[in-house]
Structure 1
Amino acid sequence: MDDHLHAAGNLPLGLADKLFFHLEGNHGLEAETHLLGNPANDKTGSYYIRPLGRPIVEGFFGGPGAIAIEDAGVLEAFAFAIEELTALLGGKIEKYLKPISSSSWCNVEWIHGSYSHALPGCARDRETLAKPVSERLFFAGEATSRFDFSTAHGAWESGIRAVQEFAACYPKAVAP
């Protein structure tokens, strides 16, 4: 277990949060556009406009920006993003932006972060964390994925791997 605790310590969680807006009406924004709020501000958002042609704006905030929007609260976070978007696109864009959803990973009990990242020289600790501690304790999650860390599919695939490891230890416990 000490190896797993050491490995987990070398794979801490970073913080990234998202805000989503629905675009209503004839907004005139091109699909698949990317905007950076204010490059001089480390709390700025990165905005993905109309992903896959959908009427959505995805705001991405990392590190200090994620902390700032979580500390401010949901309403203020959306207000900040609208302020940045109107500075980039003009004041008329505000009437087309309707807040729909946000994340707040730092404030989720038992999580306190978003995605794992390996400290310098510690990427192999993902393999250590992925190994079963015993025939009774199995680890899964994106942090255990050697190639697909920091992704939902890496978490999904690691869950399948952990179930397969469990099934190998307890073949009678798994239905055919």
Structure 2
Amino acid sequence: MFRARPGLVRVLLLCLAVALGACGGDGGNQPDSVSWRNVDLDVPDDWYVYERSDVHLSLSNADLSPQTDDEEREAFVPPEDGVVAMAFTYEPDSSPAAWRRFVEQQDATLEADNRLTLDGDVPATQLIFSYETNGIPTREMVVLIPSRAIVVLSQPVPGPGDDDAPDVFLDHIETFLDVLESADFGQPVLD
């Protein structure tokens, strides 16, 4: 069984920044909503579902699905307001305490540590933190939903040389929260 740790999820999403130059085109999937692990979510206008498995769902405001055509890669133009992504992962052993330790280990600044209630009665924990990785400043939000063993990481996907990721995050935080607030939770999926 796949169990991502806070660092692994961060590394996977940072790999998207490297892959961004090799991604793009109009071949992505732009549905109005998506169902994953018995949770129905609204997908924002002009956003893509670019990765989906039993344990992972990824949404972004840019088509980050792999492209092999050189013309499509060269034609990719990121959104003016920056590229952002949300990764939903199934992580039965994750906890707010583990993420707080991760924030501390990264020498990050914990900006928010809040309790949330989703879909009227589903408790969650929201952490927002900022730090620098490989010389690039960033800001991220993780929302842990223990009753479903779901972790949601929302973050900017900076390109080479970008230093405005913290502001890009702030420009999109309402969209991230709207996606979470749209969640309709069915019965937990038992594995």
Q: Which has the higher helix share?
A: 1
Query: TM-score by structure 1 length?
Result: 0.25
Query: TM-score by structure 2 length?
Result: 0.23
Q: Which has the higher strand share?
A: 2
